[in-house]
Amino acid sequence: DAGVIQSPRHEVTEMGQEVTLRCKPISGHNSLFWYRQTMMRGLELLIYFNNNVPIDDSGMPEDRFSAKMPNASFSTLKIQPSEPRDSAVYFCASRPSNHRGGATDTQYFGPGTRLTVL
Amino acid sequence: GNSVTQMEGPVTLSEEAFLTINCTYTATGYPSLFWYVQYPGEGLQLLLKATKADDKGSNKGFEATYRKETTSFHLEKGSVQVSDSAVYFCALSDGTGGFKTIFGAGTRLFVKA
């Protein structure tokens, strides 16, 4: 398996521009998570989906951030408009279900997207 | 609510030294406990886990024992290598296999040759 795939790996943009980060979870995993990592704040959970449905978006910093999961194999995290304080590494992670279809414990992380907003 | 506290870094050791990274947790119920490792430029990956009290998780020479009486899950390795240099995250998920995993702040480890 290719693991969780994220694109782009690096993104440099200017303040005010729209940024879209993409994630392809591991096939068969039914939960998907978006995290943000910075030196100051560490690893923060932004939002997670279960079976393509957003379950908890309380970590999304503000209305400039939005996330979608149109199908089981694709998710996006969009920032519009972007600001310099959004500069961070954004990780996507997925998690498999157990044989009963419920959640399991271990998450599988992608390599991350390093976002720089100038 | 559930939380994880781990020792602040960075931790700097010489090769072949003994490693301990402390982790304590606060949780209701019976959480599963994890150590994840993040190598430079990569995402987090599971290092080891334990799902119930007194369980010992182990992998790549690392060990951690789920201690319910002290609410701890300290990471240990008897002889570290330069390749162990990374950031280590202690984490928990609630006993129902719930949707969220709570991560600690991470501890950076530097191993010198």
Using 50, 70 and 90 to split pLDDT, how confident is the model at A117?
Answer: very high
Nearest Cα residue to B89 out of B19, B12, B34, B17: B34
Is some CB atom of chain A closer than 8 A to the CB atom of B40?
no
Contact in structure between B111 and B13 (CB atoms under 8 Å):
yes
What's the pLDDT tens digit per position in A25-68? 999 898 999 999 998 888 999 999 988 999 889 899 889 999 99
pLDDT at A116 over 70: yes
How far apart are the C-alpha atoms of B54 and B66, rounded to whole Å? Answer: 5
Q: Which of B41, B101, B105 sits opposite A107 (nearest CB)?
A: B101
What's the pLDDT tens digit per position in B18-30? 999 999 999 887 8
Quote the pLDDT of residue B97.
Answer: 44
**Pairing state of beta strands B107-112 and B11-14?**
parallel
The minimum CA-CA distance between A108 and chain B, rounded to whole Å, is: 7
Which range, of A11-20, A90-99, B18-27, B29-38, averages the lowest pLDDT?
Answer: A90-99
